Amino acid sequence: MTNTTNFKITTTSSHTFFCKDDQTVLEAALQQHCFVPNACTNGVCEVCYGDLLAGTVRLKSGQTVSAPPTQHNLLYCIATPLTDLTIGIKAFRGPGEFKLQTIACQIEQVTQLNEDVFQVALLAPAGKYPEFHAGQYLELLPEDGNSYPFTIACAPRGRTIELHIQVHQENQSAQYIIEQLQNRPSIRVKLPMGNCYLPIERHTLKKDVLLIAAGTGFAQMKSLIEALAEETDRPTLHLFWVGKQPADLYATELAQQWQEQGLIHYYPIVRDTNQGWDGYSGLIEDLIMERFQNLSQCSAFFCGSPNFVYGILDALTDDGLNQRDCYSDVFDYAPRT
C-alpha cells in the first residue's frame, strides 16, 4: 500500500484546503466542496487557470513548476502538489459560500421600533432571490458612492431582506442612510458578506449554542434563530441580550414568544438599574458561567463592539469555552494582533 502525503493549499482569498500528492489541485478543491471555475480535466479548456505564488507542482506532462517568483496562468486540473502551495484562482469560493451579487431592492417599509432603532423591509426583484447564510451581512449602496454595512436580520427566505438600523444623533452616516430609506423607492445592496454564519460543512455546532448580543446585535441572532428553528435536530439555543436600558431590548416580546414556543432560553440584561429594571443587570459572562458547568460543550456567536466581544470571550475561554467554537464578525474586522 502506497502512503500518500497531504499538502496544505492556501488561496489569496484566505481559504485553505488539503490536497494529496496523487490528485490534482482541482480534484481536491472540488472534493472539499470548494468552487473553482472548470470544464474539462485535462488542460484543454483553460478555465481553471490561476497563479502559483509559493510552492512546487508537477504538471501532467511531468514538468515541475515552482514559485516564487509568481507563475501565472497555471492550469490546476493538471497540477499535482509536491509541497504546500499558495495559489490565486479568480472566483474561488470556499464551502457554502455564495457569489457576491449587487441587486436593486424595493424599499417596502421603514418602521421605528424604539427611540433610535428602525426596522427596514427590502424586497429583491422577482427572479433574483438574495443568496446568503443566516448570520451574514450586506452593504447598502446609496447614491453618495459609499457603502454601509448592516447585518441581515432574517433567515434566508424568499425575496425579503430585513435590517435593524440604529440611528444616533451623532452618527451622521446612520442619519443619512435612514433618510435615504424613508424617502426613496429603492436602493442597491451588495451581498452576502461575513464569516460569522451558521456552520456549513466546516464545523459542527455543540449541543448548547450561546447567542450573545448587545443592542442591534440582536439582528444577527434573530437570523440565526429563525434558521435553526426550521431544523428538527437543532441544538439548545440560549439568547443573552444586553441593553443600557429596557427600551434597548426593542424586540423583547418576540424573544419571549420564542422562549414560550421552546425555541430558545432568553436572558435579557439591562445595565442601568435606575430605569425601573428588576431583572438581571450583572455581567453576561457571570450569568453564563452560573448556567453552564462545562463550557467546552458550547458554541458561541457574538455580536457587538470589539471591546464587548473580546471582554466576554476572554472570560469565557478562561472558564473552558474553546475559541474554535466561537464566531463573530469582530474576528475579521478587528482582529487581535
Which of 152, 216, 135 lies closest to 190, judged by CA?
152
Beta-carbon contacts of 290 under 8 Å, excluding residues fewer than 6 positions away, are none
Q: How many CB atoms lie within 10 A of CB 5?
A: 11
Residue 321, strand partner residues: none
Grid cell in block for residue 240: 443573552
Residue type, 250: Y
With cell 507542482, the residue in question is 57
d(Cα 182, Cα 275) in Å, to the nearest integer?
31
User: What domains sit in the chain, N to C, each tagged with a CATH number?
Assistant: 6-88 (3.10.20.30), 101-193 (2.40.30.10), 208-333 (3.40.50.80)
**pLDDT of the residue at 127:** 84
The tally of CA atoms less than 13 A away on the side-chain side of residue 73 is: 2
Stated pTM of the model: 0.79
pLDDT of residue 203: 61
State the Cα–Cα distance between residues 105 and 93, nearest whole angstrom: 25
Reading the chain (337 residues) residue by residue, the pLDDT tens digits are 457 889 999 998 878 899 999 999 999 999 888 889 888 888 888 889 999 999 999 999 999 999 999 999 999 999 999 999 999 998 888 887 888 899 999 999 999 999 999 999 999 999 888 999 999 999 999 999 999 999 999 999 889 999 999 999 889 999 999 999 999 999 999 999 988 988 655 467 899 999 999 999 999 999 999 999 988 889 999 999 999 999 999 999 999 999 999 999 999 999 988 778 889 999 999 999 999 989 999 999 999 999 999 999 999 999 999 998 999 999 989 988 6
Instruction: Find the farthest-apart pair of alpha carbons in the chain and give their distance in angstroms, rounded.
Output: 77
pLDDT at 276 (0 to 100): 80
pLDDT of residue 1: 47
- Report how far residue 19's alpha carbon sits from residue 42's, in angstroms, rounded to the nearest whole number: 18
Distances (CA, A) of 84 to 20, 60, 241: 10, 18, 44
Residue 45, all three cell numbers: 479548456
Q: Contact, 77 vs 24, CB < 8 A?
A: yes
Residues forming a β-bridge with 121: 109, 162
Beta pairing, strands 85-88 & 49-59: antiparallel
Of 94, 192, 103, the C-alpha closest to 152 is: 192
C-alpha cell at 197: 454564519
Alpha-carbon gap, residue 318 to 328, rounded angstroms: 18
| 3-state SS class at 212 | strand
* First-last CA distance in the chain: 45
Q: What is the DSSP letter of 34?
A: -
**Separation in Å, CA 290 to CA 245, 279, 319:** 23, 15, 11
* Three-class HEC string of 211-261: EEEEHHHHHHHHHHHHHHCCCCCCCEEEEEEEECCHHHCCCHHHHHHHHHC
- Total residue length of the chain: 337
Q: What confidence score (pLDDT) does residue 231 get?
A: 86
Backbone angles phi, psi at 26, to 5 degrees: -60, -45
